[in-house]
Structure 1
Amino acid sequence: MRRRTFIKSLGLAGAWLGTPALAQGTDKPQDGATILKGKVHAGGTGIAGVAVTDGRTIAVTDRGGRYELAAHPDAEFVYISIPAGYAFPTEKGIARFYAPVAGKTGAVVNDFALEKLGVDDSKHQFVVWADTQMISKKDCEQLKAESVPDLKALVAGYGSSALFHGIGCGDLVWDKFDLFADYKEAIGMTGVPFFNVIGNHDMDISARGDDFSAATFKQQFGPTYYSFNRGAVHYVVLDDVFFIGTAKKYIGYITDTQLAWLEKDLALVKPGSTVVLSVHIPTNTGAARRTGKTDELGGSVSNRKQLYKLLAPFKTHIMSGHTHFNESWEEGNLMEHNHGTVCGAWWTGPICGDGTPGGYGVYEVDGSEIRWYYKSTGQPKEHQLRIYGRGASKEQPNEIVANVWNWDPAWKVEWWEDGQAKGAMQQRTGLDPWAVELYAGPQLPAKHKFVEPTIADHLFVATPAATAQRVTIKATDRFGNVFSQELALQAPGSGLQRTT
């Protein structure tokens, strides 16, 4: 099908023909329909080609920035896909790209005012905060006292003209909806505009079913699925937490309504473009392989192959959280980044169960290319590994262990013994020794006793000579950045020894 014909079939022809688009492809609205209309503009000047949606259908603005679409009966919002080249509208740091329309009838007019950026946005940065997950005011204060200043310092280091945005990757709170106010306050303090993803701990667990489980989240943050643009990158947020109507029970699943909307949304994106898609539950992980257990329905997205089909024409990075461990996997043009948490192990200690420090992902965009690293809260950006001396692993008391938490198969991890190169370290699946010390057993940690160490792929081991005095480990990421740490070895049996 020719592109113009396909666009017309989606009800998107108006932007090309110079008239407001009716998203359902009709010449005039049906009798009794609610009509959503208005203008997308900057300083009164209309902006053409902006996608506008009610979550079911999509229209694009005409040459004068006008849009018109017949609302679906279940429509709750009308919202735009913010175009490249414009600042993100925010309300106290939270992206505000939508207007409520539920219950309204007749002609409903909503204009969207944007501000043209004064700098080229082809270069920009974004951060992914996964699982801030506060359950108490004390957790909130820790977020504000530790994570907020860390992000502010990071942004300042890029210079005053740098363009940053954030993605709150779900579980913004831990079932305590009154703490959404604290989350918003923290975001406002960072100075970074944030787009937000719904997580399983952000749902109304007293709802009758999935259709009503996001009511509170929507009141606070707007739609649960949407898109926006910055530079050459198209960003998408989806809701992949499907509530099954029983308290705290859910599966990883993307509804057909969202997939149908996504198909229309991506029809406006040039094939080969870079797409960044954010969800809470990862679409896939290696957890089942590492543990030897069947993948749980709540641990990954059960209908992910249908999502991958829609993403196949694009170079896609998927951002996810939920697991409280750090892991990346790549296949073809698709790569998923499953992030360690801002909260560490639920605000009980400085590391996640897999040894990843509490922190967040940082992504640097240049055109269609993306580079990234993991930023540990309170540590310099170069902090990318931790070394354990002999005896840290009870199973192998003569080995040294390195945890390289943002490792993926494109990395290289090598070691030196007393200045002599020894080659690559051996990758191993296992438990981080510090996580074992902090969290293993029914009495640890005192705050949340359910926390346990998590099996990870990103551990590397080597056996130094009995007479070795010092080891050096260098980890080289896929971009050629080298991260190095040294450790003076103690005799076996001297207790847990690690770098900071």
Structure 2
Amino acid sequence: MLNRRSFLRNVGITGSLLTAPSLLLKAQPAATAGNIDLSSFTLKGKVLSQGKGIANVSVTDGINITQTDKNGQYELVSNATATLVYISVPAGYAIPEQNSIAAFYQPINKNNRTAKYDFHLSKLTVDDRKHNFVVWADTQMISKADAEQLKAQTVPDLQALLQSYPKETLFHGIGCGDLVWDHFELYEDYKAAIAMCGIPFYNVIGNHDMDLDARTDDHSTHTFKQQFGPTYYSFNRGDIHYVVLDDVFFIGVDKKYIGYLTENQLQWLEQDLALVKPGSTVVVSLHIPTFTGAARREKKEPELGGMVTNRKQLYKLLAPFKTHIMSGHTHFNDNWEEGNIMEHNHGTVCGAWWTGPICGDGTPSGYGVYEVDGADIKWYYKSTGFPKEKQVRVYPKGKVKNAPEEIAANVWNWDNKWKVEWYADGVLQGPMEQRVANDPWAEELYAGPQLPKKHKFVEPMLNDHMFFAKPAANVQKITVKATDRFGNVYEDTIG
């Protein structure tokens, strides 16, 4: 297997030059080593569909944003620190793709002081105000064996899900970071898995997608950009404006990072959102969650790599919109909502790093599914290998060690608008008690220094989605019914 450094050395020279970190780019030879080339040049071109220009399409170099005129033409003054020119795909058009990877960008040729970059789009034949998307958090493969599990388990599950919807249903995917686990040669396996699914995927950079031998954060995105394009960008589908951000800030020490959004991104995002009508629904995808309940559950200060430190600045920019934030990184399910913002921190495709069928909080390996109708979004968590109706797992008395007389239920995609009730021999007993606790199956699989055998660092994690009740001794059958905010009822029965 190629190691990281060998792999990077073998990357083609041309690709390296086109996507090199900004401080190393030279439009022409510099007299003094280390000089930063800030010379300006002009990016220009058209955004077209069947030869006809498309108006009001946002075009950016990752620094500033311009929009096409009525003829689809754009012109943007850039400088030699920019590496890519890309568009925010407008609503009503198909997502351009190459083997199911979204292809909305072009590398900038620094040898031309005025360079032309045209973008060609295809108009959709269906109304994209209704569409769906899936969020794959942390495919995180460290070996070919992991890659084969992705292809043998997750891919067929998503294929079956797509086939369960009407044929004309629009779907896209979001790979929510940690696409691999530091082994960049496995990007080819990730891409192969995506191609098998047959829907376009946009991708997010995670902490395990960074060049860890980089000198600074600026240089840590080099390989990811070669593979998937820019690390922050936007696109549109129907009435929804989508934004992808890079919130993994590499601090220059191997595998050390913080959750942080750079000023470059925030100033770019401010421009991007200025073109979105206030009150619109915005979906923001990033790897490290902006916030979770982990610190409260663990009763300790959060690690700087566990949440976005300057998240309040992001929230200020999102204040005019109805926002859903999609994140991964934690390997547990954690939904929170405040005001106009709801964050969905997803359980992972790899579960507990491909060690077993569940994450550390008991959430099954799987992914989020989101159904869009106009500005409204509904969602559910799809457990790999199970029907979408599988949303709760009930444990009999004795399974939870510190509550031996109680039954327990894990409702992994719970949020504060769910209702969780229980029935004893068919008779409604009322709501169950929510408590912070560990999932007993996760304890069985992962607790202790010798478990699991594959990755011994995996441990059970406290969660907010455990529910408890104390049945009478003579009860024979217990059913738990969990009703989500959309009125969907899910149940599990024991006895």
Q: Which residue of 2 aligns with 1:302?
A: 309
1:344 matched to 2:361? The reply is no
**What does 1:341-490 align with in structure 2 at a 5 Å threshold?**
341-488=348-495
Gaps of 5+ in 1: 1-30, 489-500
Letter in 1 for 2:217: D
CA contact (8 A) 1:39 1:112 kept: yes
Q: Alpha-carbon deviations, 1:298-344, whole Å to 9, x = none?
A: 00000000000000000000000000000100001100000000001
The Cα shift of 1:420 comes to 1.4
Distance (Å, rounded) in 2 between the aligned partners of 1:102 and 1:426: 61
Report the counterpart of residue 273 of structure 1 in structure 2. 280
Give the equivalent residue in structure 1 for 2:49: 42
Per the alignment, residue 283 of structure 1 pairs with 290
What SS class does the counterpart of residue 127 from structure 1 fall into?
Answer: strand
**What per-residue deviation string (whole Å, max 9, x for no partner) do you get for residues 439-462 of structure 1?**
000111111111000000000000
State the one-letter code of the partner of 2:91: A
Q: Distance in 2 between matches of 1:47 and 1:361?
A: 33
Deviations 1:391-442 (A, max 9, x none): 0011111100000000000000000111111100000101000000000001
Tell me which residue corresponds to 2:31: none
Alpha-carbon contact 2:39-2:80 (below 8 Å) kept? no
Task: Write the distance in 2 (CA, Å) between the matches of 1:105 and 1:413.
Answer: 63
State the alpha-carbon separation in 2 of the partners of residues 143 and 345 from structure 1.
13
Provide the TM-score with structure 1 as the length reference: 0.91
Letter of the 1:242 partner, please give it: F
Task: Indicate if the aligned counterparts of 1:32 and 1:106 stay in contact, CA closer than 8 A.
Answer: no
Q: Which amino acid aligns with 2:130?
A: K
Change (3 A) 1:280 1:32: closer
| 329, 332, 346: which one aligns with 1:325 | 332
Q: Which of 90, 93, 110 does residue 117 from structure 2 map onto? A: 110
The equivalent residue for 2:251 is 244
Matched, 1:193 2:212: no
1:131 alignment partner, one of 98, 121, 138: 138
Matched-pair contact (CA < 8 Å) for 2:306–2:330:
yes
Rounded Cα–Cα distance in structure 2 between residues aligned with 1:65 and 1:178: 39
- In structure 1, what is the equivalent of residue 75 of structure 2? 68
Q: Do the aligned partners of 1:75 and 1:102 also contact (CA within 8 Å) in 2?
A: no
Number of residue pairs the alignment of both structures matches: 458
What does residue 91 of structure 1 align with? 98
Return the offset for 1:363: 0.2
List alignment gaps of at least 5 residues for structure 2. Answer: 1-37
3-state SS of paired residue (2:314): helix
Deviation sequence 1:191-226 (CA, Å, 0-9, x none)? 010000000000000000100000000000000000
Q: CA deviation at 1:32?
A: 5.9
Aligned to 1:158: 165
One-letter identity of the residue aligned with 1:258: Q
How much does 1:73 deviate?
Answer: 2.7
Equivalent position SS for 1:71: strand
The one-character-per-residue Cα deviations of 1:253-309 (angstroms, maximum 9, x if unpaired) are 000000000000001000000000000000000000000010110000000000000
TM value normalised by structure 2: 0.92
CA RMSD of aligned residues (A): 0.9
State which of 194, 206, 219 in structure 2 corresponds to 1:212: 219
Distance 2:338 2:458 in 1: 31
Identity value in percent: 69
- In the alignment, the residues of structure 1 paired with residue 197 and residue 78 of structure 2 have an alpha-carbon distance, to the nearest angstrom, of 36
